[in-house]
Amino acid sequence: MGFSVALSAAIVAIALLVSVAIVVSYIAMSLDRISGSLREISAYSQRSIVFRIVYANITGVYSNDTIELALTAENTGSLRMWDFNESELLLTFKNNSQFLDTRILYYGVNWSIANITNNGVVIPYREGEAVYPGESFNIEAKTLVPDNYIKRDENGSVVGVNFDELVTVLVYSNGAEAEYRVVVNG
């Protein structure tokens, strides 16, 4: 009887060892998968959409209370930018550092991309085209402003603007943003 108890105990012990080995193997595979996923997430999180506005200027002031702007932005991140339809351009007008007004300009309505510059080569922009890392894109914008933002002479001709600072903020569809201040000399 002792031999049958020892044999059954050995069988149970072997079954338990095999079960433990399977469980440990499964846990090790799961940890390896989790670790790989975390590495992928970490690598992706280090890639991002980052850009900066390197130039902005008022290019036109018109008697119909419209101003035109030109901006240049650079894609300094590691991902391409393409979702401009969901992006906005914010214009904040200031006078003597006092807030006057903010305008929200929508892509395709008040602003658009005119062209892309890659290594000094200017390429006309085609709708839906991506702006890749290292490329610059030139923005043209136009908006109506209140009549008192336009400076006129005694004949009613436009001679400048009645604000001394314009803060431009480009907000990309993922929430990334860049700001540029334009100091206006009338």
Per-residue pLDDT of the chain (186 residues; tens, 9 = 90+): 677 777 787 888 888 888 887 888 888 787 778 777 766 665 554 457 788 999 999 999 998 999 999 999 999 988 899 889 999 999 999 988 788 899 999 999 999 999 999 999 999 999 989 999 999 999 999 999 988 889 999 998 999 898 999 999 999 888 888 999 998 864
Q: Locate 186 and state its tokens.
A: 């009338």
Please give the Cα distance from 186 to 69 (Å, whole number). 15
User: In angstroms, what CA-CA distances link 144 with 22, 61, 150, 169?
Assistant: 71, 10, 10, 17
| E strand or H helix at 24 | helix 2-46
> Positive or negative, the Cα torsion across 171, 172, 177, 178?
negative
The confidence score (pLDDT) of residue 26 equals 83
Q: What is the pLDDT of residue 124?
A: 95
